[in-house]
Amino acid sequence: MTTKDKGASRAVTEPSPRRKAAVTVHDVAEHAGVSPMTVSRVVNGTRVREPLRLKVEAAIRALNYVPNVAARVARSGGLRIGVLFNNPRSSNLGEFLMGAFHQGGRDGCQLLVEPVAAHPTPVDAVRKLVSMGVDGVTLPPPLCDSLEALDLLWQADIPALSFATADPRSHSSAVLIDDFEGARTMTRHLLSLGHRDIAFVRGDARHSPALRREEGFRAAMAQAGHPVRPDRVVQGDFSYRSGLEAGRVLLSAPASRPSAVFASNDDMAAAIAAIAFGLGLRVPADLSIAGFDDTPIASLLWPQLTTVHQPIAEMASTAVEILSEFIRDRRSGGSPPVRHHVVPFTLRERESTGPVTETGS
């Protein structure tokens, strides 16, 4: 389904797939060839013989079993939302947590914050929250696009919300911006300044907004009648380090530099600016640089970065609000709809972009 209406929440009415029966302790016991009591002992942390424990843990992983403690928590009257975060060094994290905690306080719900990096795999972080009896979970990038994580929560009957995805699913809520239109708007801005030779730095291919941002860039270039050279699109992964490598690839040869670089996020754009300064290039006189997200680094950099503003704190607040309303409505016997809330973006024009010059053309 498409989500083109900015600033609106839309109920998703597509029929949901039939939920499979939840995996029980007895299923795990049968798979492992042990008694249900042994499974319970392993789940509760009671000491059992090592060979039995390993068999039970293998069965738990194979069947995707999580203890169903959510009902017990619900009976206590509390409302607990699991908040995962993927990258502790992300310049978005502070605003994300600020928005989430602000709304959690307003709604009177407890937020259980869990770092994805503390677990062997990202889905293990989801399993931990489910085992703790959360009533809902926000999935950050790139978990927001993980079918395994979404299916795990679906089978556990716990509502999920995909945060900052560009590919919302019909059976789970989402909060997002229109990444395609944001990237197209930025590319049109560069074109309006006279730039024609524009390079693009991709983001993490596991994260759907990276794909939509590239599509928006390519669409704007095609609509303006300017083909994109293959060597003008360089792979990154949203990290500063990958931006440094992309900057070296794009800027090292003086005779074939683009006049502008549009990076899929601000961290990579800042890294490209660092490479440009190291080469003695003037920004924007010799090279215009644009980013995406409007994270704090965009304002700390000099010259300040032209970027697409994504209101992370507002989005996090909305995510908690949607989940808490969904949970309370369902507890009261209602059938709340899935919502895909699209938040407006803003083009922030700053000093890192300027008109193309003879030396920068």
**Could you tell me the CATH number of the domain that includes residue 291?**
3.40.50.2300
Radius of gyration of the chain (CA): 23
Inside any domain, residue 334: no
Structure tokens at 239: 């990290």
Inside any domain, residue 107: no
Inside any domain, residue 122: no
pLDDT at 77: 56
pLDDT at 68: 57
Q: In this predicted model, what pLDDT tens digit does every residue of 204-253 receive, in sequence order?
A: 998 999 999 999 999 999 999 999 999 999 999 999 999 999 999 999 98
Inside any domain, residue 86: no
Closest CA to 138 of 117, 159, 116: 159
Inside any domain, residue 104: no
pLDDT at 83 over 60: yes
Inside any domain, residue 130: no
Range of the domain at 248: 179-309
- Cα–Cα–Cα angle for 26, 27, 28, rounded to 5 degrees: 90
DSSP per-residue letters across 95-151? HHHHHHHHHHHHHT-EEEEEEGGGSSSHHHHHHHHHHTT-SEEEE-TTGGG-HHHHH
Please tell me the distance from the alpha carbon of residue 18 to that of residue 21, in angstroms, as a whole number: 9
Inside any domain, residue 78: no
pLDDT at 298 over 90: yes
pLDDT at 326 over 90: yes
- SS percent in the chain: helix, strand, coil, step 5: 45, 15, 40
The model scores a pTM over 0.85: no
Looking at the structure of the chain, the number of domains it has is 1
- Contact 220/184 with Cβ under 8 angstroms? yes
User: Which of 40-44, 121-125, 131-135, 186-190 is the most confident on average?
Assistant: 186-190
pLDDT at 107: 83
Inside any domain, residue 201: yes
